[in-house]
Amino acid sequence: MKIISKAKREEAQGLRSKKIGYFELHHILPKSLFPLWKNKPSNKVLLTAREHFFCHKLLCKIYPSKEMAYALVAFTTRPNSDYKISSREYERLKILHSNLRKGVNTWTPESRAKALKTKELNGSLYRKPTFSERQQISKTLKEKYEKGELLKDHSPRSKETKEKISKKLKEKYKTEEIKVWNKGQSCPSLQKFGEDNGMFGKTWWTNGKDNIASEYCPEGYWKGITKKINKETEEKRKKKISEAGKGKHWFNNGKENKFCYECPEGFIPGFLCKRWLER
């Protein structure tokens, strides 16, 4: 209480002010434990960074709780601080913080809403990364891939993992925690008609390689769609067909054709074209 009474006295005399020097606002009764006293002027006092840290250290002993522990640990990463803690004190705080976090989900709907509000206030919620920022991100990721810190091709999930995921999803569907959006309904995009549909008034145009959906024909394009074929996939497909047909021959009985290894009864070698049948 000596620290608080001294700070209150100096503040009343005009010796403590954020205009004079660096001071931090402290809640005498912690706002996390006493929310009704949060905005009362009598519960607020200006302290130096060292005094603030020491008061929270005492509060952690007076009110042993996870809220007080989190507040104390937060001091270890704060900028503009004029205090230093020993390596032992730092280790003690980190162990305390780790023990309190075990089995606790800190990313609650309240904390998520608070984070979104903070991003909205500082203007980073809807801001897209600049070109230089995207280049820096790309460079960092490439370096991590080269060092092996990140893996491009993730290993496939084991059967046990797949079964666990399947079981959890089935339970969520039963309890209706997850709802099937298309149960008894058609796809929302197919329900759009007229100007609401993204393809309204547009036609497909191609130049033999690329396809464009537009209202007007671009230069060097004509109406239609060019199917993009993967050469490797096409070669595999042809090879598969070739291997499947090895040793087989066409046989016909004057009405139908059969592709097999041996000539069926009543059939003769050769393929009978449909045009010949029509004659």
Could you report the per-residue pLDDT of 147-204, keeping only the tens digit for each?
777 666 556 677 888 888 888 888 887 887 776 655 555 555 555 666 667 777 888 8
Confidence category of residue 124, pLDDT binned at 50, 70, 90 = low
Write down the pLDDT at residue 83: 60
User: What distances in angstroms separate CA 169 from CA 26, 70, 108, 109, one per listed residue?
Assistant: 47, 34, 21, 21
Write down the pLDDT at residue 179: 67
**Tens of pLDDT along 201-214?**
888 888 887 888 88
> Can you say whether residue 263 is alpha, beta or left, with left for phi > 0 and alpha for psi between -120 and 50 degrees?
beta
The vertex-234 CA angle with 232 and 238, nearest 5°, equals: 120
Write down the pLDDT at residue 183: 58
Most confident of 3-7, 120-124, 126-130, 174-178: 3-7
Helix H or strand E encompassing 71 = helix 66-74
Higher pLDDT among residues 230 and 171, named by residue: 171
- Please report, rounded to a whole number, the percentage of residues in the chain having pLDDT higher than 70: 81
- The Cα–Cα gap between 162 and 170 comes to 12
Structure tokens at 155: 């290993």
DSSP label of 227? P
Beta carbons of 56 and 47 less than 8 angstroms apart: no
Structure tokens at 222: 């004509």
Write down the pLDDT at residue 254: 82
**Tens of pLDDT along 76-103?**
766 555 566 777 777 777 777 777 767 6
Please name which of 12, 41, 15, 9 lies closest in space to residue 26, comparing C-alpha atoms: 41
DSSP label of 79? S
Q: Could you tell me the residue ranges of all domains in the chain?
A: 2-103, 198-228, 231-278
Write down the pLDDT at residue 78: 63
Helix H or strand E encompassing 257 = strand 257-260
Confidence category of residue 277, pLDDT binned at 50, 70, 90 = low
Residue 47 phi, psi dihedral angles, 5° rounding: -125, 155
